[in-house]
A = this chain, B = another copy of it.
Amino acid sequence: MKNMTISDIAAKAGVSKATVSRVLNSPEMVEGSTREKIESIMKEYNYTPSATARNLSKQVSSTVGVIVPEISNSFFGTLFSGIEEITNKNGLSLLYCSNEDNEKKDLMALELMKTQRVRGVFYVPAVNYPAMGKKKKIQKELESLGCPVICIDRDIALPFDTIHFDDRKAMKNAVISLAEAGHRRIAVINGNSESSVLASERYDGYLEGLKAVGIEMDEAFVYQGVYKQSYAYLAAKELFQKKEQPTAVITCNNNLGRGYLQAAAECGTADLYTHVSLDKIEMLDLLKIPHNYIERDSYELGKKAAELLISRIAFPEKRIQNILMEAPLIRETY
């Protein structure tokens, strides 16, 4: 079924396109009886104006873009839902594109957003551009979007609004809390702190925590690889073999937490280390398996990010905001 146009409606109503457009945009400007007539015709023919034409004419889009690593990871799925709640209320639609933590895909995603002329974009940077000496480059890309950008979850120190969890502080707290409970040998399984902003923040927090409680860092207890379950699994297996064992371990994202648990489950869950995972691991509560974790409410993160974008659209000249969200430590087993 072909879509009706504003001209079709105008013809049927015996008025000009301008008048039809007015009942769409400022109905109070058109006289009651003609308005009603036009409205009834629009209804009868199930007319819906084309956003494409409208956007072009108005020179603004009603859609905003979201670029995240992968929507099937529940952290980002939930983040996305939080964003949607707010953008929906503001009549904005969502264009999605994943970057798979991959620089090339990331650039393609930005290109997509640019070609779509979105009103704003929520952006989780794929890689640590500044650390790669590409800060200027990515900054230029983002600026050339010509719309507000909200950097989420990973702060790559660009002049854009930013919102993320205070992972550094959370990690530091976790170490201190473990130390206070008597732990002195605290291992960590993390992503690559050279290439990932997140990983370096988390590692720094770990070091700060050790320092705060006067524990010397032991390289044998530090694993920094990739944020994958399989990596943590191997790291944990290796830890289990050491003659000198840690008494506690912190895993730095949900995949790593799962990998560690997998390894632990294989070895019989009997004498596990005390485990703190950054991000809650699903199902454990439900199975009544006690679990310590740093809680990051990604739905809330999404909502706040969306509010940030709305307010940035409203006040383009407002100074840049950098929002840091608390990530509390939930202790259940020590």
Interface residues of A, Cβ cutoff 8 Å to B: 1-3, 46, 48-53, 55-56, 61, 63, 70-74, 77-78, 80-81, 84, 93-98, 111-112, 114-117, 140, 143-144, 146, 258, 261-262, 265-266, 281-284, 286-289, 299
B286 touches A51 (CB 8 A): no
B51 touches A116 (CB 8 A): yes
B63 touches A72 (CB 8 A): no
A48 touches B287 (CB 8 A): no
Minimum CB–CB distance from A16 to chain B (whole Å) comes to 21
B48 touches A115 (CB 8 A): yes
4 new A-B pairs (CB below 8 Å) besides A2-B146, A52-B56, A93-B112?
A46-B144, A51-B117, A56-B56, A94-B96
Q: Please name the 4 residue pairs, one residue from A and one from B, whose CB atoms are nearest each other, closest first.
A: A283-B283, A77-B77, A72-B77, A72-B81
Q: Take A51-B116, A93-B112 as given contacts and tell me if A266 and B282 are in contact as well, using a CB distance cutoff of 8 Å.
A: no
**6 residue pairs A–B, Cβ–Cβ below 8 Å:** A3-B114, A52-B52, A71-B71, A84-B96, A94-B97, A283-B284
Copy number in the complex reads 2
Chain B residues with Cβ below 8 Å from A72 are 74, 77-78, 80-81, 299
A84 touches B111 (CB 8 A): no
Nearest B residue to A75 via CB reads: B72
| Bound form: Cα–Cα A157–B73 in Å | 32
Count chain B CB atoms within 10 A of each CB in A96, A111, A140 and give the residue with the most: A96
Nearest B residue to A84 via CB reads: B98
Q: Take A74-B72, A93-B116 as given contacts and tell me if A52 and B61 are in contact as well, using a CB distance cutoff of 8 Å.
A: yes
Which residue of the partner chain, among B46, B93, B283, contacts A95 with CB atoms under 8 Å?
A: B93
A3 touches B146 (CB 8 A): yes
Count chain B CB atoms within 10 A of each CB in A80, A111, A265, A283 and give the residue with the most: A283
Chain B residues with Cβ below 8 Å from A77 are 71-74, 77
Which residue of the partner chain, among B63, B73, B81, B114, contacts A98 with CB atoms under 8 Å?
A: B81
Q: Take A70-B81, A80-B71, A286-B258 as given contacts and tell me if A53 and B51 are in contact as well, using a CB distance cutoff of 8 Å.
A: no
Chain B residues with Cβ below 8 Å from A94 are 95-97
